[in-house]
Structure 1
Amino acid sequence: MTLLLGLLCGMALVGGLVGVVAGVVGTTAPRRAPLHVRWQAAMRGGREQSEDARMRRRTLTAGAVVVFAAVWLVSGNFVASALLGAAVIGVPWLITPAQMAKGRIGQLEALSEWTQRLAGLLRLGMGLEQAMITSRQGAPDELAPHIINLSDRLRLGWRPEGALRRFADELDDVTADKVFAALILSVNDRGPGLAQALEDLSGTVREEVAKKRAIEADRAKPRTTVRWMTIITIGVVVAGFFVPSYTRPYSTLLGQLVLAFLTAGFVGVLALMRQLGTFRRIPRFLVPDPASHVRLPASGRETGLPATDRQTEGTAR
Structure 2
Amino acid sequence: MWVLAGLALAGGLVGLVCGIVGTTAPKGPTVAARVRAGRRLAGRDQRMARRTRLVGGALAGVLLWLVTGVFVAGALVFLAVVGVPWLLAPTKSATARIGKLEALGDWTQRLANVLRLGRGLDEALQISRKGCPDEIAAEVGDLVDRLHVGWRPADALRLFGDALDDVTADKVVAALVLSAADRGPGLAQALDDLAESVHEEVSRRRAIEADRAKPRTTMRWMTIITLGVVGAGFLIPSYTAPYGTLIGQLVLAVLAVGFVGVLALMRQIADTKPVPRFLVADPRSAVTLASRADVEGAEVSA
Q: Within 5 Å, give how 1:126-141 maps onto structure 2.
A: 126-141=119-134
The one-letter code of the counterpart of 1:169 is D
Is the 8 Å Cα contact of residues 154 and 181 (structure 2) preserved in structure 1? no
1:4-37 CA-to-partner distances (Å, cap 9, x unmatched) read: xxxxxxxxxxxxxxxxxxxxxxxxxxxxxxxxxx
Instruction: Single out whichever of 197-206 and 86-95 deviates more from structure 2.
Output: 86-95
Query: Taking structure 1 as reference, are residues 298 and 107 closer, same or farther at Cα in structure 2, changes over 3 Å only?
Result: closer
Select 1:239's aligned residue among 208, 232, 257.
Answer: 232
**Identity score, percent:** 62
| Alpha-carbon distance in structure 1 between the residues aligned to 2:50 and 2:120 | 45
Query: Taking structure 1 as reference, are residues 108 and 124 closer, same or farther at Cα in structure 2, changes over 3 Å only?
Result: same
Which protein has greater RCO, CA pairs closer than 8 Å, 6+ apart? 1
What is residue 278 of structure 1 aligned with on the other side? 271
1:235 is displaced (CA, Å) by 1.3
The one-letter code of the counterpart of 1:282 is V
Name the TM-score, length of structure 1 as normaliser.
0.74
Select 2:260's aligned residue among 264, 267, 274.
Answer: 267
1:111-146 CA-to-partner distances (Å, cap 9, x unmatched) read: 111111110110111111111111111110111111
1:50 is displaced (CA, Å) by 3.0
1:234 is displaced (CA, Å) by 1.1
**CA RMSD, 1 decimal:** 2.2
What is residue 19 of structure 1 aligned with on the other side? none
1:192-213 CA-to-partner distances (Å, cap 9, x unmatched) read: 6111100111111111111111
| 2:69 corresponds to 1:76 | yes
Query: Taking structure 1 as reference, are residues 138 and 77 closer, same or farther at Cα in structure 2, changes over 3 Å only?
Result: same
Select 2:251's aligned residue among 252, 258, 267.
Answer: 258
Is the 8 Å Cα contact of residues 240 and 246 (structure 1) preserved in structure 2? yes
Name the TM-score, length of structure 2 as normaliser.
0.78
Q: Within 5 Å, give how 1:1-317 maps onto structure 2.
A: 50-96=43-89, 98-188=91-181, 193-290=186-283, 296=285, 302-303=291-292
| Alpha-carbon distance in structure 1 between the residues aligned to 2:282 and 2:270 | 30
Query: Taking structure 1 as reference, are residues 64 and 157 closer, same or farther at Cα in structure 2, changes over 3 Å only?
Result: same
1:93-121 CA-to-partner distances (Å, cap 9, x unmatched) read: 22456211111111111111111111011
The one-letter code of the counterpart of 2:68 is S
| Alpha-carbon distance in structure 2 between the residues aligned to 1:93 and 1:298 | 33
The one-letter code of the counterpart of 2:261 is G
The one-letter code of the counterpart of 1:174 is V
**Comparing both structures, which one devotes a greater share of its residues to helix?**
2
Structure 1 stretches of at least 4 aligned residues deviating more than 4 Å after TM superposition: 188-192, 295-302
Query: Taking structure 1 as reference, are residues 178 and 243 closer, same or farther at Cα in structure 2, changes over 3 Å only?
Result: same
Instruction: Single out whichever of 220-229 and 180-189 deviates more from structure 2.
Output: 180-189
| Alpha-carbon distance in structure 2 between the residues aligned to 1:65 and 1:267 | 18
1:280 is displaced (CA, Å) by 0.4
Is the 8 Å Cα contact of residues 60 and 89 (structure 1) preserved in structure 2? yes
Query: Taking structure 1 as reference, are residues 104 and 288 closer, same or farther at Cα in structure 2, changes over 3 Å only?
Result: same
| Alpha-carbon distance in structure 2 between the residues aligned to 1:284 and 1:298 | 17
| Alpha-carbon distance in structure 2 between the residues aligned to 1:66 and 1:105 | 39
Q: List runs of 5+ in structure 1 lacking aligned partners.
A: 1-48, 305-317
| Alpha-carbon distance in structure 2 between the residues aligned to 1:220 and 1:173 | 22
| Alpha-carbon distance in structure 1 between the residues aligned to 2:210 and 2:48 | 30
